[in-house]
């Protein structure tokens, strides 16, 4: 019989595994935070990604499940999905940027120091994308899918994803609600990319490429943060809901429409071959 701790298969319930994950994560992260604070520095995105990676691997091994179930099988298909994700992520930012340019609402200037700053900005965004995808589409997301089903898991994680961007959203002013909806749908998009491929390759490619294209390449803000890069963008006019203002293309209606298109495409996409058994759909209780 199922119990508070074990499900009908006599396995630890997914809710307890999520608590264990946060416990392991805290045990690794807190000493790192204390050490960084004592040295007057901060935990970098790459360090954050490494912490989430280690915590995820520990929990997956404790479950006696293969790491490929967590990240996807590291083969040529993983690289192909990474490339497709990167192409789609770049397109999602290039399309609204070119639309604004065609309307005469934005112009660009070459940044003399852009090439020198580009590599550090790319490393920063790579670490941030890896940390977020491991956190939001990795162990927690997969345990929620297994216990609650795909869409409850999507909504819970998307809400959490928006919450972690609350600092940037609070500074977005009247664009906050639009940016929040965009970030929520972006989380759903990343989640669908994982569900369709059973791999973190495409979600990471989408996330990383969209941020790099928007910030270090095109010179827009990334979730409200200024990103030095190859080009410096100047908003020449137009309503903030159309341009995204200082927050970036994520807070614009054209940006939102691109995310919606990507969500619909991923929702309707049926991969020709399944790499693992189908994920659970909707369940009434946490196993």
- What's the per-residue H, E or C state across 28-48? HHHHHHHHHHHCCCCCCHHHH
Q: What is the pLDDT of residues 71-115, one digit of tens each?
A: 999 999 999 999 999 999 999 999 999 999 999 999 999 887 767
Tell whether 117 is covered by a domain. yes
Say which range, 37-41, 75-79, 174-178, 206-210, has the weakest mean pLDDT.
37-41
Residue with tokens 């609350």: 166
- The kind and range of the H/E element at 98 are helix 76-102
Q: Does the pTM of the predicted model rise above 0.85?
A: yes
CA pair distance 215, 118, nearest whole angstrom: 10
Cβ(244)–Cβ(252) under 8 Å? yes
Quick: pLDDT tens for 150-171: 999 999 999 999 999 988 888 8
Helical spans, DSSP H, in 171-225: 176-197, 201-212
In a domain, residue 5? The reply is no
> Which phi and psi angles does 105 have, rounded to 5°?
-100, -5
Q: Which of the four pLDDT bands, split at 50, 70 and 90, describes residue 274?
A: very low
Q: Give the pLDDT band of residue 277 (cuts 50, 70, 90).
A: very low
Find residue 107's DSSP bridge partners.
234
Answer whether residue 253 is part of any domain.
yes
2, part of any domain: no
20 domain-assigned: no
120 pLDDT tier (thresholds 50, 70, 90): confident
Spatial contact of 187 and 257, defined as CB atoms under 8 Å apart: no
Categorise residue 238: left if φ over 0, alpha if ψ from -120 to 50, beta otherwise: left
Domain range for 119 is 73-268
Decide: 236 and 224 in contact? Cβ < 8 Å: no
Q: Let me know: does 250 contact 183? Beta carbons within 8 Å.
A: yes
Q: Which long-range contacts (CB under 8 A, 24 or more apart) does 234-237 make?
A: 234/106, 234/107, 234/108, 234/109, 235/105, 235/106, 236/104, 236/105, 236/106, 236/107, 237/104, 237/105
CA torsion angle 79 80 85 86 (round to 10): 70
What's the total number of domains in the chain?
Answer: 1
Distance separating alpha carbons of residues 95 and 126, to the nearest angstrom? 22
Distance CA 234, CA 15 (A): 47
The answer to the question of residue 141 being in a domain is yes
Higher per-residue pLDDT: 29 or 278: 29
Judge whether 35 lies within some domain.
no
Q: Are 110 and 218 in contact (CB under 8 A)?
A: no
């Amino acid at each position: 019989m199922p119990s508070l701790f074990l499900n009908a298969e006599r396995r630890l319930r997914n809710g307890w595994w999520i608590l264990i994950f946060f416990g392991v994560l805290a045990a690794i992260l807190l000493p790192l935070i204390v050490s960084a604070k004592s040295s007057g520095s901060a935990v970098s995105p790459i360090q954050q990604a490494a912490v989430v990676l280690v915590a995820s691997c520990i929990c997956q091994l404790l479950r006696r499940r293969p790491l490929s179930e967590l990240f996807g099988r590291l083969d040529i298909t993983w690289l192909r999905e990474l490339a497709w994700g990167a192409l789609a992520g770049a397109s999602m930012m290039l399309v609204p940027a070119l639309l604004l340019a065609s309307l005469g609402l934005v112009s660009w200037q070459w940044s003399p120091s852009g090439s020198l700053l580009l590599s550090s900005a790319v490393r920063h965004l790579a670490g941030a994308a890896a940390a977020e995808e491991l956190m939001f589409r990795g162990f927690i997301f997969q345990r929620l899918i297994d216990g609650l089903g795909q869409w409850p898991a999507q909504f819970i994680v998307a809400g959490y994803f928006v919450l972690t961007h609350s600092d940037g959203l609070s500074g977005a002013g009247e664009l906050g609600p639009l940016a929040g909806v965009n970030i929520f749908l972006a989380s759903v998009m990343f989640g669908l990319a994982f569900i369709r491929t059973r791999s973190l390759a495409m979600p990471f490619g989408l996330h990383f490429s969209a941020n790099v294209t928007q910030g270090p390449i095109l010179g827009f803000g990334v979730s409200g943060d200024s990103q030095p890069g190859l080009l410096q963008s100047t908003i020449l006019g137009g309503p903030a809901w159309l341009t995204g203002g200082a927050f970036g293309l994520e807070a614009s209606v054209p940006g939102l429409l691109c995310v919606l298109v990507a969500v619909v495409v991923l929702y309707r996409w049926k991969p020709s071959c399944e790499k693992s058994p189908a994920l659970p759909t909707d369940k009434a209780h946490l196993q």
